[in-house]
A = this chain, B = another copy of it.
């Protein structure tokens, strides 16, 4: 979210923001799947009249199948496609999604027939590209999809157009229904053959998870269990294919979806995909009613929460994490921070509780020394002064800020807003500042999405010199969290980011964490704790032989985490979060399970994997995480060691470091 620097090249950002604007929409886009037979002109007019935004049309006449078998060269296509394709104006082609002949995409046992089918598919794809259709639909009907994958992949790599491929995959496959052939196989294999997610997974892996291959998820009457549904949510769903036969009829004779289907559709609609209504008109009121029903569903979404509203448009949009220590933030960035409705409230409460406790313990009537470290444009100074007033405690306040520009703002605030309070502005790095007195309380907010990744530990270490022995730090401690995630979308985004900087190692983009509103994603297990930091630093235990090297006295960390995976998936990386105790029971958190409601200052962090790892149901995922420190920088390294071992990512900080 706002927490990004412009490490990622501007061109990329621009391009991304452009996409963002393009895909952010308030109306659902709904298409109608038509038979080849229908008169196109009428059908188009009528479907648009019925409120549909686009149509899906066969590229060639399915009736001409036998003829086609003999054709190997393009010049025969003329008799098999619709004349309208050529005769009607080009504009409406942008409203047509081409359907590749279904029967061609079945892997035929006959070698000759297979080769012929591959040629024919290529021919249809070329023709669709020639017409500049925005997308084509390809039907995945079996797990024997290697040759189809090769044909599609070759087409995407060799033709010069932007057409996307929507791979139609049914949500479930009934036993014995595959390909019409009875299955009597060994249990395990047969299980995978009946699991359409495995078809899809094989297909997209063969195609190198190409970013122009999207999923057209076909809803079935039977719904799989919740785990299977979740499995799909990390996939790049471009459209949802909704057969009219899936609808029930309500008392008034109108089509409606079952509760379970409605719930599923609501989840899918969050992913910004398009809808394709397919199948015959099974209700009396015309095809319009299906579209109306889906649009009704879409608009009956509960209104977005503060966090969701803020995050809209940032979904799956990669940002380089802030480096507030090395870089100076802009005033506008502070302004965005300050809009957070929750963060400052929690800080004020924590400061209030802390000052109340301090003043109870503190017998004398003297003032308390409170230092805001990294004061920015002053919101935490303001919160501190308010809390002090409320707790009826006299405070002497220092506002320390290393951004000299922000210090100007602070000085102005001191003169105009805080002239009746005892506030001193210090334009200095807290690690170098020679404090004139010791602090009772220090208040700071130097947290990144992964807790320590904006170097709060190192900065606050630098402040230890000027703390009273019983000083309190707000925050008291913070913990990072990690969970394994599957998201082809994020994988494609990282690949895209990697293509931009040709100067860097080709895999540098995969050895960098990103701040991102993770959205089109499937979390394979709940997050677990990674690193813990507390302030002030715990005292060294002098009895311990190894005291000097105790890692809790340094900021070096190592953790190994194990996750049980209960559904097969591709592991693309890890989502990172933090939980922070400000004081006593006052916490802020971006861990999904304990997220502070409405707080939008932080999006999660994403640690990618260079090579996606195929995880099978029942596998354990083991990840190793290191926090490494040198004299000038800090960085993370990570590696997976189960179900099998990846290389260590970002060794020696070769691709990504945070400057001290």
Contact = CB atoms under 8 A, between A and B. Distances in A.
B154 A647 contact: no
A113 interface: yes
Interface in A552-594: 552, 554, 556, 558, 560
A116 B546 contact: yes
A492 interface: no
A129 to B, nearest CB: 15
A111 B550 contact: yes
A646 interface: yes
B146 A546 contact: no
A113 B546 contact: yes
A552 B116 CA distance: 12
B206 A647 contact: yes
A157 interface: yes
A53 B648 CA distance: 36
A207 B201 CA distance: 28
B112 A647 contact: no
Contacts of A206: 639, 641, 645-648
A69 interface: yes
7 contacts: A69-B545, A113-B546, A115-B549, A150-B637, A157-B651, A206-B646, A614-B645
A328 interface: no
A648 B207 CA distance: 6
A626 interface: yes
A639 B647 CA distance: 22
Contacts of A506: 506
Contacts of A560: 146
Given A72-B549, A111-B552, A146-B624, 6 more contacts: A69-B546, A112-B544, A146-B560, A205-B645, A206-B645, A614-B644
Given A72-B548, A157-B654, A158-B652, A558 B111 contact: yes
A29 interface: no
B205 A644 contact: yes
Interface in A352-397: none
Interface in A518-566: 544-552, 554, 556, 558, 560
With most chain B CB atoms within 10 A of its CB, the pick from A614, A643, A651 is A651
Contact of A115 (B205, B544, B556, B652): B556
Nearest to A654: B157
**Interface size range on A against B:** 35 or more
A16 to B, nearest CB: 24
Interface string A88-118: 0000000000000000000000111111100
A227 B111 CA distance: 37
A545 B149 contact: no
A207 B646 CA distance: 9
Given A111-B552, A157-B654, A611-B611, A149 B70 contact: no
A201 B115 contact: no
A432 to B, nearest CB: 24
A637 B147 CA distance: 11
Contact of A554 (B115, B146, B558, B654): B115
Interface string A208-249: 110000000000000000000000000000000000000000
By Cβ-Cβ distance, the 7 closest A-B pairs, closest first, are A205-B645, A614-B644, A208-B647, A112-B550, A506-B506, A116-B549, A112-B546
A153 interface: yes
A603 B274 CA distance: 54
Contacts of A546: 69-70, 110, 112-113, 116
Interface in A4-39: none
A119 interface: yes
A70 B545 CA distance: 7
A115 B648 contact: no
With most chain B CB atoms within 10 A of its CB, the pick from A201, A206, A547, A637 is A206
Interface in A499-513: 506
Interface in A374-427: none
A80 interface: no
A205 B157 CA distance: 31
A207 B649 CA distance: 10
Nearest to A550: B112
A614 to B, nearest CB: 4
A202 interface: yes
A66 B545 CA distance: 9
Interface string A59-73: 000000010011010
